[in-house]
Structure 1
Amino acid sequence: MDFAFGPDDTAFRHEARTWLEDHVTGAFADSAGHRGPGGEHERDRTRFAWERELGAGGWIGLGWDADHGNRRATLTQQVVWAEEYARARAPARLGHIGENLLAPTLIAHGDTDQQARYLPGIARGEEYWCQGYSEPGAGSDLASLRTTAVADGGRYRVTGQKIWTSLAREAHWCFVLARTEPGATRHRGLSFLLVPMDQPGRIDVRPIRQMSGTSEFNEVFLDGAEAVETVGGEGNGWQVAMGLLALERGVSTLVQQIGFEEELGRVLRTAAGGVLDHDPVLRDRLVHQWAELRTMRWNALRTLGRTGDPGAPSVAKLLWGGWHRRLGELAVQVRGAAAAAGPDAWSPSYELDALQRLFLFTRADTIYGGSDEVQRNIIAERVLGLPREPR
């Protein structure tokens, strides 16, 4: 595809850059360092205010249909916004799950009443969402989930456990995949449910402390929690859920790569302190890392406007998962033995620095969001037409 930025994109870039320069100040500017892997839950008060600031400025919902959101933007302009956002070192988003996952799903599969009810709160930066997919026994193999939902007077009562739920403590709502047809197995009998999180005694959120020392992820226990409605109709949850996962790897992949570029720059600056002068093997790996990031960007741009390609999301996940994990390894290798500790390593208040957290967090990159093994199976079966893996 021809991905040249035109005059309209240049004008849009100027508008975005000017707005960000005027607004990423004070406490918003101070939060710039709290956006690395595993730190998505930090500085929540400042970031709540920032979401409302974005909403008031009309910068939420750029990729939605023309009838929704605050401001319409083309695909190229959405990329421009992501680039300028990263350049301005604006606060990490709390509303991205609602804006980039739930909202497009409602536009594609929801009815007009659902769109009118939920989209405005997301667009204003006032309502936040989390995703209730993975379970202790159903992560990459999502179809084996055990959470159930029973019809109750036009609504549902949901019982089960979800895990690795990002931002569950901050969210007002959770979209939950649950089995609504007793006795159904695998992809059948599942529904995509909307569940309010403020249900004391029925929803219990427990942070999961990770080896990086942070607690971005959570366990969510549902004990008869009320789900107010389904999206796409009862029993059609698998199709809705898979459509959402494809959205997760669209423009957001490019946004993610801009963050990767910032992390790579930090690693390169650390390496420039001396290791590049005497370790040609490590220097070669850093060059490869830079070249691979450029390749991922062009691949993402190439597939950006493409729909219906069953392999594109899996290819993207395989590329960035392995790349980011290797970057984590380089983050400690460029520092040598010093990466194993720090100046206050023996202090009770010792905390990991940004590169140490990067290394530990990226151990999970090839697992969460669909493991590498699952992505390869999808490509083999749905793209190459190979026989299904025996179960």
Structure 2
Amino acid sequence: MDFTFGPDDAAFRAEARAWLAAHLVGAYAEAAGTGGPGSEHEGIGIRRAWERELGRGGWIGLGWGDHGADCGNRRASLTQQVVWAEECARADAPARVGHIGENLLAPTLIAHGTDAQRRRFLPAVARGEELWCQGYSEPGAGSDLAAVRTAAVPDADRGGHRVSGQKIWTSLAKDADWCFVLARTEPGSSRHHGLSFLLVPMDQPGRIEVRPIRQMSGTSEFNEVFFDGARAEECVGGEGNGWAVAMGLLALERGVSTLVQQIGFAAELERVVRAAVDGGAVTDPVLRERLVRQWAELQTMRWNALRTLGSTGDPAAPSVAKLLWGGWHKRLGELAVEVRGAAGAVGPDDWSARSPYALDEAQRLFLFTRSDTIYGGSDEIQRNIIAERVLGLPREPR
């Protein structure tokens, strides 16, 4: 496909840049660069306000087509969606807290939901008013998602379902208004059979408990979520069809969202290169070669993302993309501390005045990216998917 920027994209870029310059001021400007993977604990209040500001400006749901327009927001081409992401990165806007609702839940409702479900949930996401989290992984059912044990039974009194079980590694669960939950609704079923995709409001005291998970980076952006008869108000795609809906949602992580992710990666790489130049590490031929390799691999990831945008039905695309960016980001985290030499292993100068576990940006990047090859489907699982579903190799013994 042709992915060059044309005159319409240039006009869209000018509009986006002007809007950001006019609105990214005051407290929003002070929160510039906060949040994002590894730092989701930062500035939740101001980032929620920024989400609503984006909604008022019509900048949420650019890829929803007519559904976004029905919510009063803009509709944008693929190139224009990338332009918007580039301009947000250039302006160093606060990281989004509504990305799960906008980029995962909403497209899933557009593809599998009913008209009533779309009318109920899409406008609230488009206004930046309701935040979502994802209830997929469980202890013993992370990369092997088909092993989920969280169960749901019909609610005879009020309709819907009652959900009981545990989810883990749930980003933004402390702040989300809703959670989409993959649960087993057919007693005695196993693997991908008998699952349903349920929508659960998080404000159910005594029915839902959220416990933050403290990471080695000192932050707690992931959570455990315990459901004790919590009410699920909606089922998307029909009862028992949860596996197909869940797999459709996971496929949304490729494409434009991957390109948007790479914009942030490029900014991180630029900071690492700058540190290497400023500190003199760039004179080391081994480190210099590794920095060049990181740049080249990032270009390869971009080309792969563009290739998958122009193709359909490639079963390996999500797994290949995950393998590429997970390992790349982990290696970047290692470089971030290595280019600083011994200084990369010590705390900030004002350590005593801060938390006893204070970390600088490079150290946090190093620690958090250790998880990139695990969450969202481990490297081992991705390789199994490619081997079995694409190359036709024998299945791994269970």
User: What interval of TM-score do these two structures reach, taking the shorter chain for normalisation?
Assistant: over 0.9
Amino acid at match of 1:41: H
Paired residue for 1:272? Answer: 277
Paired residue for 1:131? Answer: 134
Name which of structure 1's ranges 79-88 and 377-386 shifts more when overlaid on structure 2.
Answer: 377-386
Residue 84 (structure 2) pairs with residue 112 (structure 1): no
Paired residue for 1:383? Answer: 390
Cα offset, 1:277, TM superposition: 4.8
Cα offset, 1:24, TM superposition: 1.0
Paired residue for 2:361? Answer: 354
Give the 3 Å change call, closer, same or farther, for CA 277–3 of structure 1 in structure 2. closer
Paired residue for 1:18? Answer: 18
Name which of structure 1's ranges 117-126 and 31-40 shifts more when overlaid on structure 2.
Answer: 31-40
Give the 3 Å change call, closer, same or farther, for CA 205–176 of structure 1 in structure 2. same
Among 349, 373, 378, the alignment partner of 1:371 is 378
Residue 83 (structure 2) pairs with residue 80 (structure 1): yes
Contact 1:157 1:226 survives alignment (8 Å): yes
Paired residue for 1:209? Answer: 214
Give the 3 Å change call, closer, same or farther, for CA 36–132 of structure 1 in structure 2. closer
Cα offset, 1:35, TM superposition: 2.9
Question: How far, CA to CA, are the matches of 1:265 and 1:297 in structure 2?
Answer: 16
Question: How far, CA to CA, are the matches of 1:121 and 1:277 in structure 2?
Answer: 48
Length-normalised TM-score, structure 1 = 0.98
3-state DSSP of counterpart to 1:194:
strand
3-state DSSP of counterpart to 2:60:
coil
Instruction: Provide, for residues 321-375 of structure 1, a one-character-per-residue CA deviation record: whole Å limited to 9, x for no partner.
Output: 0000000000010011111112244556241011000000000000000001111
Gaps of 5+ in 2: none
Question: How far, CA to CA, are the matches of 2:75 and 2:131 in structure 1?
Answer: 21
Name which of structure 1's ranges 305-314 and 208-217 shifts more when overlaid on structure 2.
Answer: 305-314
Cα offset, 1:274, TM superposition: 3.3
Among 225, 232, 237, the alignment partner of 1:232 is 237
3-state DSSP of counterpart to 1:78:
helix
Name which of structure 1's ranges 178-187 and 66-75 shifts more when overlaid on structure 2.
Answer: 66-75
Paired residue for 1:167? Answer: 172
3-state DSSP of counterpart to 2:37:
coil
Name which of structure 1's ranges 257-266 and 377-386 shifts more when overlaid on structure 2.
Answer: 377-386
Question: How far, CA to CA, are the matches of 1:2 and 1:324 in structure 2?
Answer: 28
Cα offset, 1:93, TM superposition: 0.4
Question: How far, CA to CA, are the matches of 1:274 and 1:96 in structure 2?
Answer: 36
Among 311, 314, 319, the alignment partner of 2:316 is 311
- RMSD between aligned residues: 1.2
Contact 1:36 1:358 survives alignment (8 Å): no
Contact 1:37 1:358 survives alignment (8 Å): no
Question: How far, CA to CA, are the matches of 1:379 and 1:149 in structure 2?
Answer: 32
Cα offset, 1:223, TM superposition: 0.3
Amino acid at match of 1:386: L
Cα offset, 1:278, TM superposition: 3.5
Paired residue for 1:9? Answer: 9
3-state DSSP of counterpart to 1:366:
coil
Name which of structure 1's ranges 227-236 and 272-281 shifts more when overlaid on structure 2.
Answer: 272-281
Contact 2:85 2:260 survives alignment (8 Å): yes
3-state DSSP of counterpart to 2:252:
helix
Amino acid at match of 1:280: P
Contact 1:271 1:334 survives alignment (8 Å): yes
Name which of structure 1's ranges 54-63 and 146-155 shifts more when overlaid on structure 2.
Answer: 146-155
3-state DSSP of counterpart to 1:219:
strand
Instruction: Provide, for residues 36-67 of structure 1, a one-character-per-residue CA deviation record: whole Å limited to 9, x for no partner.
Output: 53212311111111011100000000011313
3-state DSSP of counterpart to 1:67:
helix
Contact 2:31 2:94 survives alignment (8 Å): yes
3-state DSSP of counterpart to 1:356:
helix
Contact 1:65 1:107 survives alignment (8 Å): no
Instruction: Provide, for residues 82-139 of structure 1, a one-character-per-residue CA deviation record: whole Å limited to 9, x for no partner.
Output: 1111111111101000000000000000010000000000000000100000001110
Contact 2:254 2:305 survives alignment (8 Å): no
Length-normalised TM-score, structure 2 = 0.96
Residue 151 (structure 2) pairs with residue 144 (structure 1): no
Among 160, 164, 168, the alignment partner of 1:155 is 160
Instruction: Provide, for residues 155-180 of structure 1, a one-character-per-residue CA deviation record: whole Å limited to 9, x for no partner.
Output: 11100000000000111000000000
Give the 3 Å change call, closer, same or farther, for CA 58–189 of structure 1 in structure 2. same
Among 120, 125, 138, the alignment partner of 1:122 is 125
Count of residues paired in the alignment: 391
Runs in 1 of length 4+ with deviation above 2 angstroms?
Answer: 274-278, 344-350
Paired residue for 2:63? Answer: 63
Amino acid at match of 1:19: W
Contact 2:35 2:43 survives alignment (8 Å): no
Residue 210 (structure 2) pairs with residue 243 (structure 1): no
Question: How far, CA to CA, are the matches of 2:243 and 2:62 in structure 1?
Answer: 26
Amino acid at match of 1:80: V
Equivalent residues in 2 for 1:91-110, closer than 5 Å: 91-110=94-113
Contact 2:33 2:93 survives alignment (8 Å): no
Give the 3 Å change call, closer, same or farther, for CA 22–282 of structure 1 in structure 2. same
Amino acid at match of 1:244: L
Gaps of 5+ in 1: none
Amino acid at match of 1:16: A
Paired residue for 1:254? Answer: 259
Question: How far, CA to CA, are the matches of 1:157 and 1:305 in structure 2?
Answer: 41
Residue 93 (structure 2) pairs with residue 90 (structure 1): yes
Amino acid at match of 2:141: A
